[in-house]
Amino acid sequence: MYLWVKALHIIFLVTWFAGLFYLPRLYVYHSMPEHKGAYQLFKVMERRLFIMMTIGGVLTAVFGIWLISLNTSVFAGGWFHAKLLFLALLIAYHIWCYRIMVTFRHDQNTRSHKWYRMFNEAPSFLLIVIVVLVVTKPF
């Protein structure tokens, strides 16, 4: 049972991260004045992608909590507490993505595409740190 739950956790993690990688990329394009004619299309794409991303995030959490219930010994590792910290940052990033989407929806964006290019890098860093913590369990 544990391995099936773990597999589903990883599958939905991939789904969640697909959205976390692509949604900010849409913000890059949406913030460029030369794409003004596509702004309405970007709004639809962003909303749909955010829904898919949120479903992936919620199911990642559901299967993650299930994994913890099947193996409570993970609480003993300091790596797990560090992972939870970076997970909290990831959830904050997800919420920030939502707030940005609402800003675009109301045509109130004030940030440049260069800012969104930098913003787009955060989930890569978080993914690397979380995977390294889970695989190596350094402490």
Burial label for 39, CB within 10 Å (0-12, 13-18, 19+), is: middle
Structural domain boundaries enclosing 124: 2-136
- How far separated are the first and last CA of the chain, in Å rounded? 27
Phi-psi region of 31 (alpha: psi -120 to 50; beta: other; left: phi over 0): alpha
Residue 17 has pLDDT above 90, yes or no: yes
User: Which positions make up the binding site for heme?
Assistant: 9, 83
What pLDDT does residue 35 have? 87
Each residue's pLDDT tens digit, 76-104 = 999 999 999 999 999 999 999 999 999 99
> pTM to 2 decimals?
0.94
50 and 101 Cβ atoms separated by less than 8 Å? yes
User: Which positions make up the binding site?
Assistant: 9, 83
Residue 98: closest CA among 26, 47, 29: 47
Number of domains forming the structure of the chain? 1
d(Cα 73, Cα 102) in Å, to the nearest integer? Answer: 40
What DSSP line would sit under 32-101, residue for residue? -GGGGGGHHHHHHHHHHHHHHHHHHHHHHHHHHHHHHHH-GGGGG-HHHHHHHHHHHHHHHHHHHHHHHH
- Tell me what the mean pLDDT of segment 109-137 comes to: 97
